[in-house]
Amino acid sequence: MSVGIDDISFYTANFSLDLQELAANNGSDAAKYTVGIGQERMSVPGADEDVVTMAANACVPLLEGMAQRGEDANAINTILFATETGIDQSKAAGVYLHSLLKLNSRCRVVELKQACYSATAALQLATAWVARKPKEKVLVVASDIARYDRQTPGEATQGCGAVAIIVSANPRLVALDAETGIHTEDVMDFWRPNYRSTALVDGKYSTKVYLRCVRSAWQDFQQQSGLQFGDFDYFCYHLPFSRMAQKAHNHLANGNAHELSAQALEDQISSSLIYNRITGNSYTAAMYIGLISLLDNTAQDLAGKRVGFFSYGSGSVGEFFTGTLVVGYQDMLHQQSHQHMLASRKPLNYANYQQMYAFEVPTDGGDHAFAEQTNGKFRLAGISQHKRLYEVR
């Protein structure tokens, strides 16, 4: 029996800022963004979008697919919600999600945190549970809003998005191997104390730590699995910005892939970067949006191809793992809805972006209704007496 990803879909917010517009207004050279960090646009959330609404919207195609195929959604008895954009110190965001999706009450729900890494911890926990109870399915959700202070180097690497993954036995998309490589190291490269709404980052240092971590996790992975660089067809890396994957891939290839040309190395990652370039960073969701990008944007049949994944979360924890694409995986893709969603985003000018950036959920305990801005099925309608009020559109 194999265990892995049976279905996967993503969602991003309904507004976007072109980084040329950002550069024109902050004095940067646009090529620094488009070439230097490899980003074109960032998604910007409306006032009625948060990690719960994005997660719920990401889940819609999965549940519709199950209903169309006559599968029982009650098989989902665990939700693991990975985020570093927590909306509550106590209640798991996944409980709101569980309610919006009308899932069975016989379902355990928990939230996981370790910067951008926690979705991978969730995925690994999910595979272990499914291996033990193969009739059950786990819904893994990763949802984040990457937010930095204005006029800082991090500002151009903002973005947001959510991924929803069904983990099952005999998956129809990606069969995951049990062997993984892990590296943990206590460093302060990126963090967000509880009293801040924006992250603090030592950007250049974080890039160095990321590279050190990918090397160490890879070495551990090789020892555990016996696999070599040449055993892989494609790679998906954590994507704080798309150039980071290129740096990491070249770093890993150095000394491991003498026979591969620069173009062949680029071909192993380029399709995984397409969506990230236009959504921006989505922290926990980023690498998994990279996987969806690879699947949606590769015309050739990838069945039987081996993908290497490197998940990184500042602070820091990294994990290298692998999976193989299953025959017929194309039937499970949601390519058209992803591309329609991306194309439907409303472009912002700089003044609109500044206005939207300045919005914060009121903290006075009063009753506040939020303007309807999202196109998504689920929205944050307001807040009343410190309680978030979600609704279905």
Instruction: Give the interface with ligand COA as residue ranges (CB under 6 A).
Output: 29, 31-32, 35-37, 153-154, 156-157, 201, 203-204, 206-207, 210, 240-241, 244, 314
Nearest-angstrom CA–CA distance, 257 and 42:
33
Two tokens, residue 295:
């699947």
The residue (of 94 and 315) whose beta carbon lies closer to ligand COA is 315
CB of 272 to ligand COA, least distance (A): 16
CB of 319 to ligand COA, least distance (A): 14
The residue (of 65 and 153) whose beta carbon lies closer to ligand COA is 153
The residue (of 35 and 303) whose beta carbon lies closer to ligand COA is 35
Largest Cα separation within the chain, whole Å, is: 64
Question: Exactly one of 183, 238, 249, 334 is catalytic; which is it?
Answer: 238
CB of 307 to ligand COA, least distance (A): 20
Q: Residue 334 catalytic? A: no
The residue (of 35 and 131) whose beta carbon lies closer to ligand COA is 35
Nearest to 297 by CA among 271, 268, 277, 266: 271
CB of 384 to ligand COA, least distance (A): 35
Cα–chain center distance at 53: 15
CB of 192 to ligand COA, least distance (A): 12
The residue (of 204 and 387) whose beta carbon lies closer to ligand COA is 204
What are the DSSP calls for 118-185, one per residue? HHHHHHHHHHHHHHHSTT-EEEEEEEEEE---TTSGGGGG-EEEEEEEEEEES-SSEEEPS--EEEE-
Question: Exactly one of 21, 49, 59, 84 is catalytic; which is it?
Answer: 84
226: left (phi over 0), alpha (psi -120 to 50) or beta: left
CB of 158 to ligand COA, least distance (A): 9
CB of 318 to ligand COA, least distance (A): 10
CB of 165 to ligand COA, least distance (A): 21
**Consecutive H or E run containing 81:** strand 76-82
Nearest-angstrom CA–CA distance, 73 and 12:
24
Question: Exactly one of 116, 160, 213, 236 is catalytic; which is it?
Answer: 116
The residue (of 314 and 374) whose beta carbon lies closer to ligand COA is 314
Nearest-angstrom CA–CA distance, 3 and 126:
9
Q: Are 115 and 315 in contact (CB under 8 A)?
A: yes
The residue (of 133 and 208) whose beta carbon lies closer to ligand COA is 208
**Consecutive H or E run containing 382:** strand 378-384
The residue (of 147 and 379) whose beta carbon lies closer to ligand COA is 147
Q: Residue 107 catalytic? A: no
Q: Residue 84 catalytic? A: yes
Q: What are phi and psi of 136, to 5 degrees?
A: -95, 155
Listed in sequence order, the residues at least 6 apart from 388 whose beta carbon sits closer than 8 Å to its beta carbon are 50, 52, 87, 96, 380
Nearest-angstrom CA–CA distance, 76 and 202:
40
Cα dihedral sign, 88-98-79-289: negative
Nearest to 284 by CA among 83, 108, 138: 83
How many Cα atoms within 13 Å fall on the side-chain side of residue 351? Answer: 0
E-strand spans in 224-377?
234-237, 306-313, 317-325, 346-348, 367-369
**Consecutive H or E run containing 204:** helix 203-225
**Catalytic residue positions, numbered:** 84, 116, 238
